Amino acid sequence: MKRFKKTFNDQQVPSDRDSGVALRNAESKWGPNPMTLGGFIVALLMVLTFVFSVAFFLGDLPSDCLWTLAEARIFRLKPSKATFSEDIPQPLTAPKDKLLGGLLPSGFDETSCLSRYESPLYSKGLQHKPSSYLISGLRRYEALHKQCGPYTELYNRTVDLIKSGEYSSDSSVCNYVVWISYSGLGNRILTLTSAFLYALLTNRILLVDPRVNLSDLFCEPFPEVSWLLPPDFSIIDQFNSFNKKSPHSYGYMVRSNVTQNSRKPSFLYLHLSHDFDVQDKLFFCDTDQTFLHKVPWLLVKSNNYYVPALFLIPSFEQELNNLFPEKETVFHFLGRYLFHPTNSVWGLITRYYQAYLAQADEKIGIQIRLFNFGAGDFKYVLNQILACTTKENLLPQVNLNEPIVNSSGKTKTVSVLMTSLSPRYFEEIRNMYWENPTVTGEIVSVFQPSNEERQQTEKLMHDRKAWAEMYLLSLTDKLVTTAWSTFGYVAHSLGGLKPWILYKFKNGTVHDPPCFRAVSLEPCYHSPPYYDCKKKTESFNSVNIVSHVRHCEDNSLGLKLFDRKGEL
């Protein structure tokens, strides 16, 4: 002890000179030796990896941390033997038709939109074959879009009509339908598809509202010329004020007898949302289509997939039959044609797919969207989900009596992709399959990319995640969706899947049966016009007009397209 005290007391505070020597000695020890520094970095990375792994398996990390980790590293997927193991399921490596049977145009710069041509590596491709008439129609449209798109001579000439307030009968002037962004992302995708089909049927050019995140979510679908309405469009600042009472709306003009004038307006606003008036519904009548055909600019706002009602217009019937011999394929084809994730969103999709879904023998999607949900309904909804997935043999039951269940042969792996604004359902189902073996010995892994808690319409990162999750759900083998959900409609229609649909949640008991199988790939038109164009009165017999339009399985007042052969 005395020796220790003496040694301690004899120590002196180093001078500046001594500090400099010490620093140089330290630099000599660490700086020139890269092996020592490299070893230190490797050790640090190993420690951080261990800490993260422990935190992850103990549940301390939020599920949307998976998105954060995925966003942290960006790489381009180059499918090859060097990229993928031979154990990865065949759809990832099998050569596929990049143009989807001619549905997609060629000539794009592939690096500008990787998803356009890489998507067949992940999806099962088109579940039906597009008609040659549809393919040639799309090529004709692309040529017209190139001729009349933004900033072309014909576009500038037609824009001048709005500025002058006059209508020109010049046949060389192009006609347009302008889609105005409205409602959530699922609704926007469905209404944009509806507007494009209307453009195909009426020889118009589709231009889309540039004020939202569209260019950050979707690649340009048409070669060479953008589909974005130029931001200097003369009346773009009026878009937010358009509603069914607007003087420029077609319904208002009908009520005011303005349409009886010989002078045609240079533009009209079409209000096709759920709250449209009787006069707005005249849009779906042949005689009114004749009038609208003469108006160069039609601006449309909707929150509904109004494609089924276009099939009720007699003058469109033959063209639609030629385009879509199989009636339930409208969105499946047009959705795959129009909506290609941008590289930023494609990175989210591919990284998540590779990390959590690619190695599974089977991929099951479960999409949950709750409307008017009460806090006490959680257990009820959870039981309904479990009842559906086990009764329909989508997921195996768990064995509560045995700690381990041995299965004969190779163990089947199942990855479950869940999407919901809440993490609670994911946590319960994940824990159930973690804490208990399955009766069949299958290994079930459950994942949820994000839990945003609430819908945040038009917020960029929220929309990116939502679009990525819709696309990921479309890549699953089997899918469970929620009734009335446009998010679910987009996912199953893009993937060509007929989902099991959970009955709309009601307080009290689990619905028996808990879910039902859809008979069509098509989305539901929630608020159809139900208008008799001949009698000029509202009517609920529209569903009887054509054989391939029926009421929706999840909405008795809604309409959807289907093929008789697909009816159960």
Quote the DSSP letter at residue 560.
E
Average pLDDT over residues 155-175: 81
528-554, pLDDT tens digit by residue? 999 999 888 887 765 566 789 999 999
- What lies within 8 Å, CB to CB, of 285 at 6+ separation is 313, 531, 533
5 pLDDT exceeds 80?
A: no
DSSP string covering 477-540, please?
SEEEEETT-HHHHHHHHHHT---EEEPPP-SSS--SSSEEE-S-SSPPBSS---EETTTTEE-S
Alpha carbon distance 317, 361 (integer Å):
43
* Res 8: pLDDT: 37
pLDDT (0 to 100) of residue 190: 98
Q: Decide if pLDDT at 17 tops 50.
A: no
- Report pLDDT for 125: 77
Mean pLDDT of all residues in the chain? 83
pLDDT band (50, 70, 90) for residue 450: confident
Residues 473, 450 contacting (CB under 8 angstroms): no
CA 265 from chain center: how many Å? 36
Whether the pLDDT of residue 340 is over 50: the answer is yes
Q: Parallel, antiparallel, or unpaired for β 478-482 and 500-502?
A: parallel
Whether the predicted pLDDT of 56 surpasses 50: no
Within 113-204, strands assigned E span 176-179
Cβ atoms of residues 143 and 152 within 8 Å: no
Q: How confident is the model at residue 96 (pLDDT cuts 50, 70, 90)?
A: low
pLDDT tier, 507 (very low <50, low <70, confident <90, very high otherwise): low
pLDDT for residue 163? 81
In the predicted model, is pLDDT for residue 29 greater than 70? no
Q: What is the pLDDT of residue 90?
A: 38
Residue matched to tokens 């031979």? 86
Chain position carrying tokens 């299965």: 407
Structure-model confidence comparison of residues 146 and 80, the more confident one: 146
> Residue ranges of the domains in the chain?
127-328, 343-521
Q: Residue 277 — very low, low, confident or very high, per pLDDT cuts 50/70/90?
A: very high
Residue corresponding to tokens 């589909």? 227
Fill in the amino acid letter for 299: L
Find the mean pLDDT for residues 422-437: 95
Dihedral (Cα; 558, 212, 284, 150), 10-degree rounding: -150
Per-residue pLDDT at 402: 83
Sign of CA dihedral 92, 99, 187, 548: negative
DSSP letter (8 states) at residue 443: E
Range name among 74-88, 112-126, 159-173, 214-228 with the lowest pLDDT average = 74-88
Reported as a pLDDT band with limits 50, 70 and 90, residue 41 is low
User: CA-based angle 256:260:261, to the nearest 5?
Assistant: 105
The predicted structure's pLDDT at residue 214: 93
**Phi and psi (nearest 5°) for 153?**
-60, -40
Q: Which of 24, 92, 76 is nearest to 357 (CA)?
A: 92
Q: Which of 362, 414, 465 is nearest to 71 (CA)?
A: 465
- In this prediction, residue 565 carries a pLDDT of 62
Look up residue 21 and give its two tokens: 């020597």
Nearest to 516 by CA among 544, 545, 480: 480
Token pair, residue 90, equals 């065949």
Pick the closest to residue 340 from 238, 216, 504, 519 (CA basis): 216
- Structure tokens given for 109: 């710069």
Which of 187 and 58 is assigned the larger pLDDT? 187
State the average pLDDT over residues 301-321. Answer: 96
The vertex-258 CA angle with 253 and 263, nearest 5°, equals: 125
The CATH class that applies to domain 343-521 reads alpha beta
In the structure, what pLDDT confidence band is assigned to residue 19 with cuts at 50, 70 and 90? very low
Contact between 302 and 273 (Cβ < 8 Å): yes
345 has pLDDT over 90: yes
